[in-house]
Amino acid sequence: KQEVTQIPAALSVPEGENLVLNCSFTDSAIYNLQWFRQDPGKGLTSLLLIQSSQREQTSGRLNASLDKSSGRSTLYIAASQPGDSATYLCAVKGDNYGQNFVFGPGTRLSVLP
Amino acid sequence: EAQVTQNPRYLITVTGKKLTVTCSQNMNHEYMSWYRQDPGLGLRQIYYSMNVEVTDKGDVPEGYKVSRKEKRNFPLILESPSPNQTSLYFCASRSGRLNQPQHFGDGTRLSIL
C-alpha cells in the first residue's frame, strides 16, 4: 500500500530565504505527483504536477523535482515571502486508471516578515 | 470562473439525521472525488466517480453514499451520521485527459454531535 510522508512537519523561516520541502513515497510505481498549498479554512490549490516521466516542473518561484526510483520529490521555493505561509501537501497517483490519490500529511510553512 | 462549489460550508447536526453535502463543478470535468481531512491522518479519499453513473469506493467509504446522475454534480450523502464522521470534507474534480491536476472546493466542516 502506498504511503506518503513529508518532512519537516513544520518550518519557520525569515522572509527572503530559499527553502526545500520534502515528500517521500514508498511505491515508485506512480503515474504522477502533485504539489498543493492549503490556506487555513480553504481548499487545496494545485501548484505543480509532475508526470512520472518528468524530472522537474517550474512555476514562477516554485520548482518541483521528482526522483521516482528513490521515491522522492522536493518543492523548492525561492525568495520566500510572507504570502507563501500555508500548508504544502504532496499527492501521488498510482500507476493505473483509477482515481486513487494518496496524500502526504503536509508541511506547515511560516514565512516571517 | 472555473470552480468547484460545495454546500454547506459549515454544518452542525446530530447523530442519525440524514444529510447531504452538495458538490458542483463548472469545468465539464469527468472525474470527481470526495475526501475527508482529519488531524494526523491527512486527506483520505471516500468515493470517486469517473463519469456519469460510474462511482467507486476510495479508502474510507463506510457510512457514506454518493451518486453521479449529472456530470457537474457529485453529492455526498450521510444516511445516518455518527460522531466519527465529524471532519473537514473536500470535493475535487479533474479533466479526463491524462495528467491533469485536481481542482478542490473550499471544504465543508461537519460536526456530528
pLDDT of chain A along its 113 residues, tens only?
889 999 999 999 999 999 999 999 999 889 899 999 999 878 899 999 999 999 999 999 999 999 999 999 999 999 999 999 999 999 998 765 566 788 999 999 999 99
CA–CA min distance B42, chain A (Å): 5
B80 touches A30 (CB < 8 A): no
- Is B43's Cβ below 8 Å from some Cβ in A? yes
| Residues A44, B106: C-beta atoms closer than 8 Å | no
Residues 4-63, chain A: which have Cβ within 8 Å of B? 31-32, 34, 36, 41-46, 49, 51
Cα-based distances in Å from B5 to A20, A69, A93, B25, B106: 32, 37, 23, 6, 7
| Interchain contact A104–B (C-beta under 8 A) | yes
> Mean pLDDT of all residues in chain B?
94
User: What is chain B's length?
Assistant: 113
Query: Are A101 and B45 in contact (CB < 8 Å)?
Result: yes
Query: How close, in Å, is residue B10 to chain A by CA atoms?
Result: 11
CB contact under 8 Å between B42 and A105, yes or no, is: yes
CB contact under 8 Å between B31 and A99, yes or no, is: yes
Q: Which residue positions in chain B have pLDDT lower than 70?
A: none
pLDDT reported for residue A95: 63
The pLDDT value recorded for residue B59 is 87
Within 55-94 of B, beta carbons closer than 8 Å to A belong to 56, 58-59, 90, 92
CB B27 within 8 A of CB B93: yes
Task: Read off the C-alpha cell for B105.
Answer: 472546493
